[in-house]
Amino acid sequence: MADATSIIIFGASGDLTHRKLIPALYNQFKKGRLPEKINIIGVSRTEYTHEAFRELEEKGVREFAPDSFDDATWAQFVPNIWYISGDASKPDDMEKVSKELSNIERENTNRLYYLSVAPNLYEPIILNLGVAGMAEENGAWRHTIIEKPFGRNLASAQALNKTVHRVFEEHQVYRIDHYLGKETAQNVLFFRFANTIFEPVWNRNYIDNVQITVAETVDVGRRAGYYDSSGVLRDMFQNHILQLLTLVAMEPPAAFDATALRNEKVKLITSIRPVSAEDMVVGQYSDYRQAEGVTPGSTTPTYAALKLQVDNWRWRGVPFYLRCGKALGTKVTKILVEFKSPPHLMFNLQEGDKIARNILSLCIQPDEGIHLQFEAKIPGMNGFRSSEMEFHYKDSFAEKTSDAYERLIVDALRGDASLFTRNDEIEAAWRLFDPIIARTEGDHAREPELYSRGTWGPDAGDTLLTKDGRQWQKSGCLHDLKHGE
């Protein structure tokens, strides 16, 4: 394969480019992890000169990667950045892009196309890449990253997969889910399968339930137009939260490679039982309908909680409770594994004493780490109390955790698709979520329960667990304890 590599970002004038992509590429350049001969080429309709685009991106890196920015590295990095203006959804413009690319490259060059455009432009751009011969691999590879959302239901995802496969083979396609690039999400598999002590108890015999919380304090902000037609189930559950669930619940793959890993994920997703209407709760923060861009009387959920059942040997009978919402009281992403109570308690407990169950907390963000809650005897007395063993990334490692996009872009350059979603996986995810989402849309849409900003969502989110004799566990990640959870 060729020596040189180009990264071509379609939709380069958008937010993602200067907030995430260029800062991620800059950081990887600084760490020496990009190929030596590299071109980074922005493409979008806005007219910029190379110089103007470079200045814009410099501002982005200064703002979004302030700790790593330095003038000397930037001076080495910036000559690799180029800009081509054009509407890549028009075949003629794509021809122009193709010519200008060849002028910049001057030699046979590998290419990573990054589709950071509105989802309705995925298909025309992909088809135009095909027509312009830009997907052909003649001694240089062609990969393409496709941003989320990948479809808005099963039918549209299938149609998109079909179009993609008219131009690219599956091994060239990298459907991105940035949650998989988070260091702590990747560590779930290491934690489970590189340690002897947890995996033997990681099943229905010892685990009572699993709770996944993705809480955000931000509201829909200026994205109301997009969000109102998506809602939390499409925006977060079908992709990010389901991916976290697969990591915590999948069987060990025989090898740590893309095929084996993704086979196990598909097996897990297809083992999830269809979710019944009683096992789902939807909510909306109280002033959501007043936001600009939201349709009057919108039933779009900004919060949801689900109870999922995995019908396989390992998990049969263990509920997985998932919740996620905007405008909540704290920002935290965590997976809590609540173990069963010991089979027999021989201690002389006082009336009202209850032994808490062990809880393992996988803290994905912002205070990244792992905590284990266990019971300990209070010195000098017969009583006992819950205590925690804690591991924090920031205390244990000198290396800082890097942004998810850094890892994912480099993986796509190297041809490692392990942390990207395969076509059958994305379709399996929609197959599970289509009927759930259908209950929140159309004439018979379920009315979401209103909740106040700064809370943990509607009361019904709690009832989902209390009716099973359980509750959302407060234990776990330090950050939310500090915020009075």
Active site residues: 240
Say if CB 266 and CB 428 are below 8 A apart: yes
Return the structure tokens found at 380: 């000098």
Helices (H), 335-457: 393-396, 404-414, 423-438
Neighbouring residues of 297: CB distance < 8 A, sequence distance ≥ 6 = 289
Q: Which of residues 43-82 bind ligand BG6 (CB under 6 A)?
A: none
Q: Is residue 216 part of the contact set for ligand BG6 (CB under 6 A)?
A: yes
* Site residue total, ligand BG6 (CB under 6 A): 2
Interaction mask 223-242, ligand BG6, x per CB under 6 A? ------------x-------
- How far apart are the C-alpha atoms of 198 and 220, rounded to whole Å? 38
The secondary structure of 374-400, three-state, reads: EEEECCCCCCEEEEEEEEEHHHHCCCC
Quick one: 331 or 431, whose CB is closer to ligand BG6?
331
Q: Is 338 in the site for ligand BG6 (CB under 6 A)?
A: no
Cβ nearer to ligand BG6, comparing 9 with 81: 9
Q: Please state the closest distance from residue 431 (CB atom) to ligand BG6, in A.
A: 21
- Cis peptide upstream of residue 366 (ω within 30 degrees of 0): yes
Please report how close the Cβ of residue 321 comes to ligand BG6 at its closest, in angstroms. Answer: 19
* Residue 216 beta carbon to ligand BG6: minimum distance, rounded to whole angstroms: 6
SS3 content of the chain, % helix, strand, coil (to 5): 40, 20, 40
Residues 485, 8: Cα–Cα separation, whole Å: 44
Nearer to ligand BG6, 58 or 235 (CB): 235
Give counts: helices (H), strands (E), the chain: 17, 15
**Closest residue to bound ligand BG6 by CB:** 235
Nearer to ligand BG6 by Cβ, of 235 and 367: the residue is 235
Residue 36: other Cβ atoms inside 10 A: 8
Residue placing its CB nearer to ligand BG6 in the complex, 235 or 411: 235
126 membership: H or E segment, kind and range: helix 122-131
Instruction: Tell me how far, at minimum, the Cβ of 451 lies from ligand BG6, in Å.
Output: 17
Q: Which is nearer to ligand BG6, 315 or 420 (CB)?
A: 420
How, if at all, do strands 384-392 and 369-377 pair?
Answer: antiparallel
Shorter beta-carbon distance to ligand BG6: residue 40 or 332: 332
Strand partners, 6: 39, 111
In the complex, the smallest distance separating the C-beta of residue 392 from ligand BG6, rounded to whole angstroms, is 19
| Nearest distance, CB of residue 87 and ligand BG6, angstroms | 25
The tokens for 101 are 């690319």
- Is residue 411 at the binding interface for ligand BG6, with CB under 6 A as the rule? no
For 206-260, the three-class secondary structure string (H helix, E strand, C coil) is CEEEEEEEEECCCCCHHHHHHHHCCHHHHHHHHHHHHHHHHHHHCCCCCCCCHHH
Measure the N-to-C terminal CA separation of the chain; round to a whole number of Å. 54
Task: Please report how close the Cβ of residue 117 comes to ligand BG6 at its closest, in angstroms.
Answer: 15
Binding site for ligand BG6 (CB under 6 A): 216, 235
